[in-house]
Structure 1
Amino acid sequence: MNSAFERAMAAFEPAHWPLAVGFSGGADSTALLAACAARWPEQVLAFHVHHGLQAAADDFERHCRTVCERLGVPLRVHRVDARHAPGDSPEDAARRARYEAFAEMAYGEGASPAVESIALGHHADDQVETLMLALSRGAGLPGLAAMPACIRRNGLDVHRPLLAVSGAEIRAWLDVHELPWIDDPTNGDERYTRNRIRAVLLPALAQVFPQFRATFARSVGHAAQAQQLLGDLAEQDLATVGDPPRIAALQVLSRARQANVLRHWLMHSHGCGPSAAQLAQLLDQVRACTTRGHRIHLKVGGGFAEREGDFLHWYNAPPSPKTSL
């Protein structure tokens, strides 16, 4: 066991069975599926999402069926409409559609056996690209923590066992085992920021900092650990201020802790991610809320933060006009 890929797979141990593998037919998911199928025979199945965004999508599905037959792995296919709305990111729209499809294949109608764990082929290069995108957007700790090795999403345990393995190492393993894969033609389309990072920034980083994948991974780990501590603190503060938060209890906290607990409350209670500017406005209004007649009505995320009596509420649509007491 010499390769980084083999070491990563040896360390991977899902908590639930059967295990699904997100299988696009690309190099990363092909290696992951083949290694999982060899290690856990008859306990692995493949999930393929047919996005319908390219003329080659049907060819991708046929390729995946052929590979799964060779590996003796059952294949589930789910077709989605991943077209993005005006103003929406095509990458984000496709990502949301993909995770919804995984959940449908895992435990939707007719899904037998039900699946609780899925492994995805994201690797070290993907992690660096995610970190670069987060830095370019001025992200906070959640963004700088990039992709977690394991997370619960849409009722599934999502595993990423290859985050310490480079794309080149994965392809080398495939070559040794003579396994075929397909290249998505959109991966070379430099209209997408992630592709430009892959084509331009990663080679430059490799020249200046040859060990950048390992060192960036350590930074991501530090950010993830710090974010976990902030999450623990937010849980404690939310237990004190309440859900919905009591404004007077919020005002006792420092501004940084107010921001932390409000961000946590909005995300975990309402699935709302406020922008930095929206959160700053909300903090200003909480600080200024010193009289019973002070009104709070702010656009936050996809909805509105409102004062109702002594409490702060959030609605995903403008509430009925009323006077805050």
Structure 2
Amino acid sequence: MGAAAPVNPVNPALAGIDALFPGVAPLPLGVAYSGGADSTALLMAAARRWPGQVQAIHIHHGLQAAAGDFVGVCESVCVQAGVPLHIVRIDARHTAGESPEDAARRARYAALATAAVAHGLKGVLLGQHADDQVETLLLALSRGAGLPGLSAMPVQFARGGVMFYRPLLQTPSIVLRQWLVQLQIPFVDDPSNTDERYTRNRIRARLLPVLAQAFPHFRVTFARSARHAAQAQAVLVEVAVQDMAAIGTPPAIKALQALSVPRQANVLRHWLLLQHATPSTAQLDQLLHQVAACSTRGHQIHLKVAQGHVTRLGLHLHFTAAASAR
């Protein structure tokens, strides 16, 4: 826990909240509150910004022995701040072949959405900050991601019928911690955040300090690049919607061939995503090759894409999901 003599405490989180909600916020709001520094700062800032209109939601994963200590700190802080606290216990264990991080993330968002609906909340604030955004961008680069991945984390999104907001994406983690220390507000450090078996933790421990030495303002510039990527991706989605209207659903092969190859790739990716199928780069390249070669009525297409197959039926492409994916 951190504590020190208060010195002119300021609230860096309010700038992010005010920028995200320059007018009237969708009150009441929930805050995903883990007990860590980032979510604690967000909870305190939101409670000061909207007194009596903020509730904390703590997701108890039960994945580590320290989880009980987190609950104790959350209860103490919320009592002192006069903020209602809802503790939700979930089973976040992953199945064989599933990423532990992905399994925990899906379970956490589902639980947050359910709790928000149950308590009449109009949205949920998340404590991801500028360092998290940089880590997400670097992970995407390491995987050779396209614009959706390079867009990193969106400022807001919907899940389970609930709006989620990230007002701290422009605020470095150290600024949040310093503010809490100034206010003598307790928080906990999750021991799993230093476990370098996880790629994100290795980036945080080894790469970010080097970047800070070489490029002191990298958090700001990397976040700006992510915003540019998100804007470009939004334009591509608009173009894809227009092209889908032109080629039809399912896609007409002749109409598809009339588009440039980059637009074919863009609209095919969009079409497949609508089928809940995410094609790999190799699969999409092969599909484009097959579409280009489809110049006779007898040319067949039968290509595995994600958890299903793209086939040619007459003059159109069709996607059939595997039975296990339905």
One-letter code of the match for 1:112?
A: H
Aligned to 1:112: 119
Name 2:304's counterpart in structure 1: 299
Asked whether the 8 Å contact 1:21–1:47 carries over to 2, the reply is yes
Partner of 1:222: 228
The percentage of aligned residue pairs carrying the same residue is 59
What pairs with 1:132-211 in structure 2 (closer than 5 Å)? 132-211=138-217
Query: What residue identity is the alignment partner of 1:270?
Result: Q
Pick which of 282-291 and 184-193 moved more.
Answer: 282-291
C-alpha distance 243-79 of structure 1, shift in aligned 2 (>3 A) = farther
CA contact (8 A) 2:114 2:160 kept: no
Partner of 1:287: 292
Aligned position for 2:69: 59
1:8 maps to 16
CA distance in structure 2 between the partners assigned to 1:118 and 1:148 by the alignment: 14
Decide which moves more: 80-89 or 1-10.
Answer: 1-10
> How many angstroms does 1:65 deviate by?
2.2
1:17 aligns with 2:27: yes
User: How many Å apart are 1:4 and its aligned residue?
Assistant: 4.1
Instruction: Give distance in 1, aligned partners of 2:61 and 2:323.
Output: 34
Mean Cα deviation higher: 303-312 or 125-134 = 303-312
Gaps of 5+ in 1: 320-325
**Cα distance, 1:137 vs structure 2:** 0.3
Give the superposition deviation at 1:15: 4.4
Partner of 1:122: 128
Secondary structure of residue in 2 paired with 1:187: helix
Q: Whole-Å Cα distance in 2 between the matches of residues 216 and 154 of structure 1? A: 30
Do the aligned residues in 1 keep the contact of 2:37 with 2:187 (CA within 8 Å)? yes
Asked whether the 8 Å contact 1:299–1:305 carries over to 2, the reply is yes
C-alpha contact 1:5 1:169 (8 A) present in aligned 2:
no
Deviation (angstroms), 1:263 = 1.1
Please state how far the C-alpha of 1:313 moved relative to its aligned partner. 2.1
- CA distance in 2: counterparts of 1:230 and 1:287, whole angstroms: 22
Partner of 1:323: none
Closer, same or farther: CA 61–272 of 1 in aligned 2, 3 Å? farther
Q: In the aligned structure 1, how far is the partner of 2:285 from the partner of 2:61?
A: 38
How many pairs align? 314
Alignment check: 8 A CA contact 1:21 1:46 kept: yes
Deviation digits for residues 217-257 of structure 1 (CA, Å, limit 9, x no counterpart): 12111111111111111111111112222222111111111
- Give, as a single letter, the amino acid of the residue that structure 2 aligns with 1:282: L
The answer to whether the Cα contact below 8 Å between 1:5 and 1:173 also exists between their aligned partners in 2 is no
Q: Which residue does 2:5 correspond to in 1?
A: none
Output the amino acid matched with 1:305. Answer: V
For residue 302 of structure 1, report the CA deviation from its aligned partner.
2.2
Aligned-pair CA distance for 1:2: 6.1
Return the alpha-carbon distance in structure 2 between the equivalents of residues 72 and 3 of structure 1. Answer: 18
2:299 match: secondary structure: coil
- Rounded to whole Å, the distance in 1 between the matches of 2:272 and 2:79 is 46
SS of residue paired to 1:161: coil
In structure 2, relative to structure 1, the CA distance for the partners of 1:69 and 1:303 (3 Å cut) is farther
TM-score w.r.t. the length of structure 2 is 0.91
CA distance in 1, matches of 2:201, 2:234: 30
For residues 15 and 224 of structure 1, what CA distance do their matches in structure 2 show?
23
Deviation at 1:138, TM superposition (A): 0.4
- 1:26 counterpart letter in structure 2: G
What is the CA distance between 1:71 and its match in structure 2?
1.6
Partner of 1:212: 218
Distance change in 2, residues 1:309/1:106 (3 Å): farther
Question: What secondary structure, in the 3-state scheme, does the structure 2 residue paired with 1:196 have?
Answer: helix
- How many angstroms apart in 1 are the aligned matches of 2:97 and 2:51? 45
Q: What CA distance in whole angstroms lies between the structure 2 residues aligned with 1:147 and 1:221?
A: 9
1:8 shift after superposition = 2.1
Give the letter for the 2:234 counterpart.
Answer: Q
Aligned CA-pair RMSD: 1.8
Q: Which letter maps to 2:48?
A: A
Aligned to 1:322: none
In structure 2, the residue corresponding to 1:306 is in which secondary structure?
Answer: strand
Q: Find the aligned partners of 1:292 and 1:72 in 2 and give their Cα distance.
A: 71
Identify the match of residue 310 of structure 1 among 303, 306, 315: 315
Report the equivalent of 1:81: 91
Task: Give the SS at the match of 1:24.
Answer: coil
Match of 1:261 among 243, 267, 286: 267
Distance 2:54 2:10 in 1: 24
Letter in 2 for 1:166: P
Query: Which residue in the other structure is 2:100 paired with?
Result: 90
Q: Which residue is 2:52 aligned to?
A: 42
CA distance in 2, matches of 1:310, 1:61: 59
**In the aligned structure 2, how far is the partner of 1:141 from the partner of 1:45?**
35
Residue of structure 1 equivalent to 2:249: 243
2:261 & 2:27 partners in 1: Cα distance?
A: 45
